[in-house]
Structure 1
Amino acid sequence: MPAQNKDEGGWKKFVWNSEKKEFLGRTGGSWSKIFLFYLIFYGCLAGIFIGTIQILLLTLSDYKPTWQDRVAPPGLSHFPRSDKAELIFSPDDVETFLKYTKVMKDFLAPYDLESQRDQMKFEDCGDQPQTYKERGGLESDMGVRKACQFSKTWLGPCSGIEDRDFGFSEGKPCLIVKLNRIVNFRPKTPKTNDSIPEEAQYKVQSHVIPIHCTNKKEEDAGKLGEVKYYGIGEGFPLQYYPYYGKLLHPQYLQPLVAIQFVNITLNTDIRVECKVYGENIYYNEKDRYQGRFDIKLGVHRS
């Protein structure tokens, strides 16, 4: 028992030594110096961290990526789009294509001309291909820029206005295609026809980025049938570029191209590849949507 009392007294004395006025073996002055040291030490670390972040923020722009030279060329997107990159349906069964037409209707909703009447936000850039629509530099004090109007009526039978099924119920499906947005990117038309398939060379014209679809596999040659293109110049007109970003171009609408397969071979799944052609548009086999896309298309009738 005395030994136990002695141990208890030693432990209590270590926590608080009333004779030396020590707490956990240190006096108040010693604890004050340690606290002051760590306060200064961590204060300096926090100051360095905050200063570094502030310096970094000074190098960033609110309107464009700092390292835009590392941004890949634009991807090519299409609607409708499935996870398996295939559109297999039957014109005789609405349920097989209803999800596709719903996606297309939702996507085209902002392209209703009634939504683009505000002249403070939109301007008429014409329905013929023109050169770039320059609206000042990104860092200028011009504020929010106007966007070019794009009417879905230009997409013809693929607009969803007269044919609410976008050709699916007739076995003539449509795809709506767009180039993905890149801030301040200016697509350039092809310099020559060398990079364009012979059957698509007629598409080359001033102020338009052409698009062309064909069968991806040789064994599908002749099965795709006629392909029709709708939109300004049947491609992507340059007056819709450059894009100034979400802050400066909140109402921006990308130009669209509608592609319709009017007499595709029935009851056969065909791998279709669509490409856009331009001087500064490239392709990457590891990225199936960079400058192109491919999709399995099948129209099946019983």
Structure 2
Amino acid sequence: MASRSSRHSSSDEFSVQTIPSKTNYRNRVNSLSQYLYDPNDGTILGCTPKRICKLIIFYTVFYLFLVFFTLALGGICYQVLDWNEPKVIGPDSILGGKPGLSFRPQPDSQSTFIHYKKGDGPSTRPYIDHIESLIQFYENENQQGENIIGCETINTRRDLRKKVCRFDLINLGGNCVKQQNYGYDDGIPCVLLKLNKVFNWEPEQYDNGTVPEEILDHYKKYSITVTCDGELPADRENMGPLAYYPPNGFAFKYFPYLNQQGYRSPLVFVQFENPANGILFMVTCKAWAKNIIHNSLQQIGQIHFEILID
């Protein structure tokens, strides 16, 4: 009898726990309604109207202060800073006078490997398109405006620093052109070199007797000489002879870069005139001026890439 009574009692407890009564539900609804608005105390969400008014006034003043404080800081920065001229420039800064080289074609920014099959359109097309995507910005219709001047007759530095010299694509010669697919179909590829922009940086000439031996034979005043060479003796042999367009490199007249409207960096094409097929060779290209340093680890003043033509 005791066991039956015990089982009956536990069953009643289970039913009470699992099935809430209507009274409990009604009490919860009443508690929520009273919290939202209590007619006895006149409170809304547990706060009196007087307290609610104080909170509204406090947060209104607080956020107005934040808005005006932010606007004041922005106004100070706008008056002090020149948006066309960077201020964080130091001797150890990338902006402090350490120009580097970049090259195209480089369809994959994570790779320096140029690999294609001679005469094979699908394998050469990415390289041709990547060069052309930059060249199109140098077309005549994209270099028009009052700020752009013709500098064909200038062979030294220029005085009009706020103006920019138009870079004429004729300087890149007649071999490395779109009509010939920049030499890739014929297995004599052209690689486009560009000196990275450094604000207010100007190249310096070598003093008499200080011209490095590597460029002694083809150094010209008022030009940043460009050279490319194989990293190993086998690379030099396999890459064959080279041609540069323009032959004197980057002319001084295109510097300095001051964030001028319409500015175009000067370009240089290096063409591999008779490279070996089926053999990988590694190339390092350098820009030469008195104030350009060469660092192979950080790729300052030079650039490295590899070429394999099947």
Q: Shorter chain as normaliser: what TM range?
A: 0.7 to 0.9
Between the aligned residues of both structures, percent identity stands at 23
> Residues of 1 paired with 2:145 and 2:33: CA distance?
82
Tell me if 1:201 matches 2:201: no
TM-score, scaled to structure 1: 0.78
Alignment partner, residue 299 of structure 1 = 309
Alignment partner, residue 16 of structure 2 = none
The Cα shift of 1:284 comes to 4.4
Select which of 208, 232, 235 maps to 2:249. Answer: 235
Q: 1:58-69 alignment to 2 at 5 Å?
A: 58-69=79-90
Tell me if 1:158 matches 2:185: no
Alignment CA distance shift 1:270-1:23 (3 Å): same
Alignment partner, residue 141 of structure 1 = none
Aligned residue type for 2:279: T
Residue by residue over 1:127-174, the C-alpha shift from the partner in whole angstroms, topping out at 9 and shown as x without a partner, is 6631144335xxxxxxxx4x322222222233416x522222332221
State which drifts further: 175-184 or 276-285: 276-285
Aligned residue type for 2:288: Y
Equivalent residue pairs, number: 283
Alignment partner, residue 129 of structure 1 = 155
The Cα shift of 1:262 comes to 1.4
> Residues of 1 paired with 2:203 and 2:114: CA distance?
29
> Residues of 2 paired with 1:153 and 1:184: CA distance?
27
Residue by residue over 1:24-68, the C-alpha shift from the partner in whole angstroms, topping out at 9 and shown as x without a partner, is 443322221232222223332333233223323333212122223
8 A Cα contact 1:190 1:204, kept in partner? no
> Residues of 2 paired with 1:77 and 1:85: CA distance?
10
> Residues of 1 paired with 2:59 and 2:36: CA distance?
22
TM-score, scaled to structure 2: 0.76
State which drifts further: 171-180 or 181-190: 181-190
Select which of 21, 42, 58 maps to 1:37. Answer: 58
Select which of 21, 26, 29 maps to 2:47. Answer: 26
Alignment CA distance shift 1:261-1:39 (3 Å): same
Aligned residue type for 2:257: Y
* Aligned Cα root-mean-square deviation (Å): 3.2
Alignment partner, residue 10 of structure 2 = none
> Residues of 2 paired with 1:7 and 1:107: CA distance?
71
8 A Cα contact 1:133 1:242, kept in partner? no
Alignment CA distance shift 1:207-1:36 (3 Å): same
Alignment partner, residue 249 of structure 1 = 261
| Structure 1 unaligned residues grouped into runs of 5+ | 137-144
> Residues of 1 paired with 2:232 and 2:278: CA distance?
17
Residue by residue over 1:161-194, the C-alpha shift from the partner in whole angstroms, topping out at 9 and shown as x without a partner, is 6x52222233222112111223332232345776
8 A Cα contact 1:243 1:249, kept in partner? no
Select which of 241, 266, 269 maps to 2:280. Answer: 269
> Residues of 2 paired with 1:93 and 1:193: CA distance?
48
> Residues of 1 paired with 2:84 and 2:256: CA distance?
13
SS at structure 2 position matched to 1:202? coil
Select which of 254, 262, 269 maps to 1:258. Answer: 269
State which drifts further: 31-40 or 100-109: 100-109
Aligned residue type for 1:76: L
> Residues of 2 paired with 1:95 and 1:30: CA distance?
74
Aligned residue type for 1:47: F
Alignment partner, residue 93 of structure 1 = 120
Instruction: Report the structure number with the largest CA radius of gyration.
Output: 2
Alignment partner, residue 142 of structure 1 = none
> Residues of 2 paired with 1:59 and 1:283: CA distance?
36
